[in-house]
Amino acid sequence: MQAQSNQPSLVRLVISLAVCVAVGSINAVFALPLLPTWFATLQRPAFLPPYAYLIPFALFVYLILGFALYLLWQTSSMNPNDRTHCILFIFFTLIMMDLWGYLFFGLESPLLGVMASVLVIAMIMATMIEAVKISFGAALLLFPLVIIVFFVAYANYLIVQLNPLLPVIGV
């Protein structure tokens, strides 16, 4: 009988992870074709790993968001609007991350990527502030994402600095 009571929890976990990875795969549509071509031609900061590591790293980021979404979904909040609000913030964060992918890779614009990164950081921090009210675990999971996106924003900034002749929009 206990396995049955865990089933909704497992279903929510799978759905949370699948939704975040599926939304994240939209970035792959923009990034994958350009990693060995356009991105490989850019001057990049020495600390950036080879581009072959970027997709697994991105998957890790989307899995973190998936686990945070799951924790928020599982939480029985005193105010259901708080939980809904946090879940919407996660979705807005996912949309902003896809916007970054479109701007950076789709439009071949590291400068617009920097700007989008700042919005992603703001969205993750706003989500953390809201999430801490109902799930400290979800808020804690989001903290590494702030650091990761700061790293991405800084790398974007350095790419802009190292490639001063890049147009604002490359395509």
Instruction: Please report which confidence band the pLDDT of residue 6 belongs to, taking 50, 70 and 90 as the band edges.
Output: low
Q: Do residues 45 and 162 make contact, with C-beta atoms less than 8 angstroms apart?
A: yes
Domain boundaries, the chain: 2-40+51-162
Mean pLDDT of 47-57: 85
How far apart CA 29 and CA 84 sit, in angstroms, is 29
Amino acid at 108: E
How far apart CA 125 and CA 116 sit, in angstroms, is 14
How far apart CA 140 and CA 131 sit, in angstroms, is 9
How far apart CA 108 and CA 111 sit, in angstroms, is 9
To the nearest whole number, what is the mean pLDDT of the chain?
A: 90
Q: Do residues 87 and 73 make contact, with C-beta atoms less than 8 angstroms apart?
A: yes
| Residue range 8-26, pLDDT digits in tens | 899 999 999 999 999 999 9
Enumerate residues 6+ apart whose C-beta is below 8 A from 52.
35
Mean pLDDT of 106-127: 95
Q: What angle do CA 43, 46, 48 make, to 5 degrees?
A: 90
Enumerate residues 6+ apart whose C-beta is below 8 A from 154.
none
Q: Do residues 100 and 109 make contact, with C-beta atoms less than 8 angstroms apart?
A: no
Q: What is the pTM of this model?
A: 0.87
Q: Tokens 């609000």 label which residue?
A: 85
171 pLDDT exceeds 70?
A: no
Containing 47, the helix (H) or strand (E) segment is none
Enumerate residues 6+ apart whose C-beta is below 8 A from 4.
none
How far apart CA 38 and CA 16 sit, in angstroms, is 33
